[in-house]
């Protein structure tokens, strides 16, 4: 073994947090192994716990996510926004920062659900609105509901974790860059190696692997489905393993290259292709209709934001309480819990790339800039799909009925376009590159979690978690027909529910610290002003003049 290899292995041994690494790995692998031993037992247990949590805490998830959105909007416009994460200059340009934040933590789901989600709301609108499924009135409501689910709230839980982790890691002494650091004022900086912090970090590892692998499994299935749908290439289980192995190899290469040479460059490419495909859909699709639809849907989302955020199914229009509550649990609460299961990984990655930026910049990028990219995508792609279904231009009936997977929708949509094959190829490339950036950044985050918060973990650590993530995604794609994918998705929701309270406590910790930090900044500014006035007085006031000479600045 060469000295370089020995050095790499030694670095891996020195940096690893044995408790978080071992328990995180064993918990993840143990759940996968349990599916092979007794899938029905595991499915039944997880489903029961999932239903119990949703029944007991659905209201809490709705309220907490709403409060986080309000708090982030306040950070954008309020005085606390000028507080910085650390005292250095930002490492990346704003465009690269935005592209990495969007590509790595969110956009994979946006691409997957873009052509599909509004179709479900068109067929079965929210009970909050008194409209009939499949009607013309249901079209803007369907897009409005989609924008609500994919704009501010999901992004907010990622952003609040990113700000909390980054602020305490970069502004406190000896606080590592890891998920448990978001609760530094509550558990104490001296207890960040204690049992509470370890439990949070172990759950974060499991939530990240389970949540991200399930999503990547769906995205990988979209790639495989596209090959079969358009060109009749049936990959089979061996082919699925080959596709995921190829993608795992690609994101591992990107990961080893590092954030600057890997994730940053690929994220920039993603955003260019994303915008090109979105604009092309707008031009080829029903352009004027999409403009009118987007205006109405966006206006409706803003007007109804509070009622949509806090809708629990009590006293709905056009449905009984049980039906409305079930709809809300199946969609809004599900999405919030799903996003919360991603919040440890997404928040840690956001913190990793946000050093040197102000709180206002991170909050604005996290919920406003990303929403500005998400809203047109769902309006143009999702709106075109609903328009095509309503007018008989394309038939998504099998998808709506559940006879075909959601991954088919994009190919049905683009098949109806001129040069449909070109759109499909671009769509598949986008799916693949977003797969790579999501896997890359989530693997980096898990590696950071299992090394006690090192910003640049060793290659061995990152490759290990990359392989685990790729294998998990492949297993879920193969076992998806048995319901195992849905079960692990529910397991991720179970893990996501506690992170609602972690996010809420992180927000309270920030409020407490930002209050004292802002007071310190005000005192510092006043000291500077007093110092400037004293200098001006001594320089410009003649002896015995009785006071300083007024300046234009006053």
Residue 94 is given by DSSP the state H
Determine phi and psi for 420, rounding to 5 degrees.
-60, -35
Residues 27-86: tens digit of each pLDDT: 777 776 776 777 677 777 777 888 888 778 889 999 999 999 999 999 999 999 999 999
Residues 366-399: tens digit of each pLDDT: 999 999 999 999 999 999 999 999 999 999 998 8
- Dist CA 383 CA 449 (whole Å): 39
Q: Which residue has tokens 């039944």? A: 44
> Is 60 exceeded by the pLDDT of residue 539?
no
> Is 60 exceeded by the pLDDT of residue 545?
no
Interior angle at CA 470, CA 193 and CA 474, nearest 5? 130
- Dist CA 105 CA 365 (whole Å): 13
Q: How would residue 205 be classed by pLDDT, with cut points 50, 70 and 90? A: confident
Burial of 405: CB neighbours in 10 Å, binned 0-12, 13-18, 19+:
middle
- Total structural domains within the chain: 1
Q: Which residues of 287-316 are buried (b: 16+ CB within 10 A; e: fewer)?
A: eeebeebbeebbebbeebbeebbebbbeeb
Q: Is residue 123 part of a domain?
A: yes
The sign of the CA dihedral 425, 430, 436, 442 is negative
Average pLDDT, the chain: 81
Q: Which residue has tokens 């290469």? A: 253
pLDDT given for residue 287 in this prediction: 96
Q: Is residue 304 part of a domain?
A: yes
Burial of 10: CB neighbours in 10 Å, binned 0-12, 13-18, 19+:
exposed
- Dist CA 111 CA 200 (whole Å): 30
* Range from 120-129, 146-155, 203-212, 279-288 carrying the lowest mean pLDDT: 203-212
**Cβ-proximal residues to 480 (8 Å cutoff; 6+ apart), any chain:** 217, 221
Q: Is residue 222 part of a domain?
A: yes
Determine phi and psi for 549, rounding to 5 degrees.
-80, 130
* Range from 3-7, 215-219, 526-530, 540-544 carrying the lowest mean pLDDT: 540-544
Across the range 475-481, mean pLDDT stands at 62
Q: Is residue 448 part of a domain?
A: yes
Burial of 376: CB neighbours in 10 Å, binned 0-12, 13-18, 19+:
buried
Which range of residues forms the domain containing residue 414?
72-527
Q: Is residue 171 part of a domain?
A: yes
- Give the CATH number of the domain where residue 361 resides: 1.20.1740.10
Residue 477 belongs to what H/E stretch? Answer: helix 459-479
Q: Is residue 26 part of a domain?
A: no
Across the range 449-453, mean pLDDT stands at 80
Alpha helices in 259-382 (DSSP H): 264-284, 287-303, 305-309, 321-328, 334-353, 359-363, 370-377
pLDDT given for residue 8 in this prediction: 60
More confident residue, 450 or 291: 291
Q: Is residue 155 part of a domain?
A: yes
Across the range 461-471, mean pLDDT stands at 79
- Dist CA 346 CA 292 (whole Å): 34
pLDDT given for residue 317 in this prediction: 46
pLDDT given for residue 543 in this prediction: 39
> Is 50 exceeded by the pLDDT of residue 342?
yes
Tokens of 211: 């949540």
Closest CA to 166 of 260, 254, 251, 101: 101
Provide the whole-model pTM.
0.84
> Is 70 exceeded by the pLDDT of residue 487?
no
């Amino acid at each position: 073994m060469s000295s370089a290899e020995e050095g790499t292995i030694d670095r891996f041994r020195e940096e690893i947090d044995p408790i978080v690494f071992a328990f995180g790995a064993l918990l993840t692998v143990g759940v996968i192994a349990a599916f092979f031993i007794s899938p029905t037992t595991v499915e039944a247990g997880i489903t029961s716990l999932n239903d119990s949590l949703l029944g007991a805490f659905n209201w809490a998830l709705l309220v907490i996510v709403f409060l986080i959105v309000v708090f982030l909007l306040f950070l954008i416009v309020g005085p606390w926004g000028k507080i910085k994460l650390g005292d250095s200059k930002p490492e990346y340009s704003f465009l690269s920062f935005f592209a990495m934040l969007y590509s790595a933590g969110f956009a994979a789901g946006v691409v997957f659900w873009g052509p599909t989600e509004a179709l479900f709301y068109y067929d079965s609108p929210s009970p909050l609105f008194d409209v009939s499924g499949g009607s013309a009135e249901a079209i803007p409501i369907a897009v409005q509901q989609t924008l609500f689910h994919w704009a501010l709230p999901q992004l907010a839980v990622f952003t609040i974790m990113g700000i909390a982790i980054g602020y305490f890691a970069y502004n406190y002494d000896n606080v590592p860059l890891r998920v448990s650091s978001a609760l530094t004022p509550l558990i104490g900086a001296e207890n960040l190696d204690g049992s509470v912090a370890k439990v949070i970090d172990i759950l974060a590892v499991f939530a990240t692997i389970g949540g991200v692998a399930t999503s990547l499994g769906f995205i990988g299935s979209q790639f495989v489905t596209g090959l079969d749908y358009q060109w009749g290439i049936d990959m089979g289980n061996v082919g699925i393993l080959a596709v995921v192995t190829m993608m795992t190899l690609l994101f591992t290469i990107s990961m080893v290259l590092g954030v600057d040479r890997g994730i940053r460059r690929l994220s920039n490419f993603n955003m260019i292709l994303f915008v090109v495909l979105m604009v092309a859909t707008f031009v080829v699709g029903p352009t004027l209709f999409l403009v009118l639809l987007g205006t109405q849907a966006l206006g409706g989302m803003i007007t109804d934001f509070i009622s949509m955020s806090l809708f629990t199914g009590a006293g709905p229009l056009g449905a009984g309480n049980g039906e409305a509550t079930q709809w809300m649990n199946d969609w809004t609460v599900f999405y919030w819990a799903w996003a919360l299961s991603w919040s440890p990984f997404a928040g840690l990655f956001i913190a990793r790339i946000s050093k040197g930026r102000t709180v206002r910049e991170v909050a604005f990028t996290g919920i406003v800039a990303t929403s500005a990219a998400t809203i047109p995508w769902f309006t143009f792609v999702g709106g075109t799909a609903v328009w095509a279904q309503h007018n008989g231009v394309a038939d998504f009936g099998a998808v709506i009925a559940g006879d075909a997977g959601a991954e088919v929708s994009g190919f049905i949509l683009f098949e109806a376009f001129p040069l449909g094959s070109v759109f499909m190829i671009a769509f598949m490339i986008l799916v693949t590159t977003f797969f790579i950036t999501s896997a890359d950044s989530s693997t980096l985050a898990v590696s950071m979690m299992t090394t006690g918060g090192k910003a640049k973990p060793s290659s061995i650590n990152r490759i290990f978690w990359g392989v685990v993530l790729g294998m998990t995604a492949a297993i879920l794609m193969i076992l998806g027909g048995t319901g195992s994918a849905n079960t692990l998705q529910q397991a991720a929701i179970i893990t996501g529910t506690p992170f609602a309270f972690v996010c809420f406590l992180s927000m309270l910790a920030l409020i407490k610290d930002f209050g004292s930090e802002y007071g310190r900044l005000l005192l510092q500014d006043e000291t500077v002003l007093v110092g400037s006035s004293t200098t001006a007085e001594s320089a410009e006031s003649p002896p015995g003049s009785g006071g300083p000479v007024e300046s234009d600045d006053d």
